[in-house]
Structure 1
Amino acid sequence: MRTLAMVVVLGWSAGALAAEPSRVLTLEQAEVTAREQQPQLRSARAGTDAARARVDQARSGFLPQVSGNASYDVGTNRVGTSGGVVSGGTARRFSAGLNANQLLYDFGRTSGRLTASRRSAEAQEATQAQTLEDVLLDVRASYFDALTQRALLDVARETLESEEKRLRQVTAAVEVGNRPEIDLLQQRTARANAQVRFIQARNAEATAKAVLNQAMGVEGSTEYTVEDVSVAPVEGEDAATDVLVERALAARGDVKARELQVRAQEAQVGATRSDFWPSLGATAGANDTGTDPADATWNVSGGLSLSWPLFEGGRTRAEVREQRALLRDTQAQQDVLRQQVRLEVEQARLAVTASREALSAAEEALVNARERLRLAEGRYQAGVGNIIELSDAQVEYTNAAAQRVQATYDLATARATLARALGTQPHSVVAMVP
């Protein structure tokens, strides 16, 4: 008997039950596969690489900008007069050189943009970490659903076996005249209904494993079975909401990412506002000019340059207003996220509490339903009960077993969801005891 599903797996005499797949997928393997193959994670990592590249782009403003040029021109030198055109021969000119520019000071324009890009890159790294948590939660939820459907398939299999066995008993009793023929019709109907539920459960299990494959980012077969697991209680899952919310705000990656985005936008406002001020730079150049490369003369130059946009039609002022508006928007989104975190924590905490209580009630209901079925079978065999009473007891037991399975994995999913809401990993995932 499985501790988790509280069912006994029996063989089907009709030979319709396929053998369990030989490959076993553990939750740890599913998570490792998702880390390696999930497209969402690959996309998040690419976004982080792009953000880091933008930091290097912003840093380049502090470094010298060097360019080279070369040209060689050939043309005629002809002069027109009143008597016609007098040829002046052919003119040749060669020029090659290097030019360098170095920013000296721009009132924080370049440094502000570098700071903004750094904060944005850090925010993207935090977002990547949060994406990983979201993907792993999806994998865990899908894994637990696959376990649920497998356990429900076991319940359906046990029910079908019971109905098959009972059909043989009722058939024998009707043949010898101990039971009316209506009992046989009733039992045939019960067996057919059990077959329908088994087929539906088998399809639901296959569908759940297909969803699990998608959560892992796998395009492959579902010919495997999932290993029983149970999520240990989350530390502090019975604590007050305010306490859990503070833990979540301090640990979650998306909260950190939003804070960094606010800081990046603040830096962007400062960088844009510095466009009102001049920028000071140094220039240097070296040019080799002459009629041909072999007979050229080097010239060097250097100096300082001051650039000050005195009037741009109000463009800079409008850009500053835009960046300030974007800052207010980012701050508002930060407040929305804080409220969303509180809601997620509260919902997850309540779900854990409700799931624990539901599991306790489901276990009691299963014990009672099993005893009722035992008594109904005894009454029927003794001739004091009827087939309707026995069928009702079997249905009640099947429903109670399925309810206990659902409650068990609802609790596992609720704890995984609470851990994600708190920005932590489940403390331990252990194999169920057979």
Structure 2
Amino acid sequence: MSVESTTSCQAGLYFRIGLTLAGAFALATPSSAQGFDVFRTMRGVSSTASGSLIHHDVGNSPCVFGLVGVPLELTEAVERTLCSNPKTREAWANVKVQAAGVGIARAGYLPTLSATWQGVRDDSVTNVTGHPDLSSANRATVRSESVSANWVLWDFGGHRAALRNASELLAAARANEDATLQDAFANVATDYYAAQAAQGGLSAAQETESTTHDSFAAATARVDRGIAPVSDALQAQTSYAQAVFARGKAEGDLKAALGKLAADMDLSPATDLVLPDAAEGVMPDASFTDSIADLIDEAKRTHPSVIAAQAQLEAAIAKTRQVRAEGLPSISFTAKYSSNNQPATLGLGIPQFPATGHDWYFGVQVSIPLFEGFGRTYQVRQAEAQSEVQRDTVDEAVQQVALDVWTSYQTLQTGTQNLTSTAALLDIATRSFEAARHRYAAGVGNILELLNAQAALADAKKQRVQALTDWRNDRLQLAAKLGRLDTNQLSANQP
């Protein structure tokens, strides 16, 4: 056997082995596509939509819920929202999309291997007019198979730029997920405290209704005994009717607030929710005692929205390099092996004889884009302009974060002052009402004095509940603007 034939047989053997392995891999891949992550790009992707904001004990799975708690604590409301809200699930899915994009970019460094197989029934008839001895009719089953490989060895940094682009997009998606989780956390906290304030408002309205009813009864009794004019009873009755109206409105406000809270958790707005009372308990502490300038500087560096914008800028810059490199030459290794059993004939009118054939080659391929209709020029310009857009987006994100921190900080300062003011106001209004009620019962006070003290007490109760829930919400909102929200903070923020 000649050297050439020996080499040919060895090459054929190697490529047949490659064909077998490629076929086995292709058959195995579809069934295991979900778990097959050769580049380990999913290592940094959270197992749930809640990211790292939910802390759980070892052995317990996050985002597994039973019936809604009674009462519904803020911690549970936040966890349900982070796990189930469509916005958080969308941000989580985008991270998985970009993680897969990194895998695609890394795959560009590896060779590609493709295999084809064909089996056909060949029925060939040739009728030579006037020369039947030259006519032929051949029938055969013909198969052919081939394996080809291609490996880009050098492309002037195109693959490197593509990987950098994909990696920065993944970083941006992760930062955007963090920002989305922070926003969802802050929004559900706002809606929770709004519902709690509405519940407190309803309780105050019910107490006011009961108090005005008692005042109406006392005024009616005095009128019946002839020691007070009938106008006292009429004014007390008017106040009572207004209290009934206010209580009905407070009930509607509470139902609307609870429906919004349920929607945050991806539950039906009609879900029955019971919240704990906005009791006294959490008071201002030493949190966020840094100067506002320091807080703003920190947020500019660490807020997820700023990090996401900066990653998008780096991705745009890498995309520009990638587009430019795609217009430059590339060097690839290429190889192919094919074989068939196509029958052969020695000439016209001679029957076909069984035969086999094979062909293989390997070498280096240089691809040089010569003219692309000026499209490459405009693609590069487009990518550069997109980078300029992203630079402006970064500046906008930094500016917005600074403004949000400033606004939230001032709101928290105001809320902290209101806690002290409303506590004093409620104490004064309570003592004033008790004094007016005793004076009226003793016959030395008038109905207007009693009704005014009664209305002032109702307003003071509502303002106190609102101040408590506002301060707790303002505290979490500032944490959100700083990008510091974490479920560990909730235990310290609830009464």
User: Scaled by the length of structure 1, what TM-score is found?
Assistant: 0.88
Q: Deviations over 1:70-128 (max 9, x none)?
A: 33462536476798996344376542211111111111112211110111012101111
Identity %: 27
SS in 1 for 2:122: strand
The alignment status of 1:302 with 2:362, answered yes or no, reads yes
Aligned partner of 1:240 among 279, 291, 314: 291
Q: Deviations over 1:178-225 (max 9, x none)?
A: 111111111111111111111111111111111111112212644332
The residue that corresponds to 2:396 in the other structure is 336
The residue that corresponds to 1:90 in the other structure is 138
Gapped runs of 5+ residues in structure 1? 1-20
Q: Deviations over 1:50-82 (max 9, x none)?
A: 111112222222122111223346253647679
Aligned partner of 1:134 among 172, 183, 190: 183
Aligned letter for 1:361? S
The residue that corresponds to 2:82 in the other structure is 35
Deviation at 1:36, TM superposition (A): 2.3
Distance 2:145 2:494 in 1: 78
The alignment status of 1:383 with 2:431, answered yes or no, reads no
The residue that corresponds to 2:485 in the other structure is 425
SS in 1 for 2:153: strand
Matches within 5 A, 1:275-290: 275-290=326-341
Aligned letter for 2:404? E
The residue that corresponds to 1:317 in the other structure is 377
Higher strand share: 1
The residue that corresponds to 1:182 in the other structure is 231
Deviation at 1:238, TM superposition (A): 4.2
Deviates more, 1:114-123 or 1:221-230: 221-230
Distance 1:401 1:393 in 2: 12
The residue that corresponds to 1:25 in the other structure is 72
Distance 2:335 2:272 in 1: 70
Change (3 A) 1:260 1:431: closer
Matches within 5 A, 1:198-213: 198-213=247-262
Deviation at 1:292, TM superposition (A): 5.7
The alignment status of 1:169 with 2:218, answered yes or no, reads yes
Structure with the larger RCO, 1 or 2 (CA within 8 Å, 6+ apart): 1
Gapped runs of 5+ residues in structure 2? 1-67, 345-353
The residue that corresponds to 2:173 in the other structure is 124
Deviation at 1:322, TM superposition (A): 0.5
Matches within 5 A, 1:184-263: 184-219=233-268, 221-228=270-277, 233=284, 237-263=288-314
Deviation at 1:358, TM superposition (A): 2.1
Deviates more, 1:382-391 or 1:340-349: 382-391
Deviation at 1:296, TM superposition (A): 2.0
Distance 2:111 2:412 in 1: 59
Change (3 A) 1:55 1:234: farther
SS in 1 for 2:176: helix
**Aligned residues of 1:206 and 1:222 also touching (Cα < 8 A):** no
Distance 1:393 1:126 in 2: 53
Distance 1:429 1:107 in 2: 55
Change (3 A) 1:424 1:232: farther
Deviates more, 1:234-243 or 1:265-274: 234-243
SS in 2 for 1:389: helix
Aligned letter for 1:260? A
The alignment status of 1:53 with 2:100, answered yes or no, reads yes
Q: Report how many aligned residue pairs link the two structures.
A: 413
Matches within 5 A, 1:348-359: 348-359=408-419
Deviation at 1:159, TM superposition (A): 0.8
Two-structure CA RMSD over aligned residues (Å): 2.5
Distance 1:286 1:77 in 2: 30
Distance 1:216 1:156 in 2: 28
Aligned partner of 2:124 among 60, 73, 76: 76
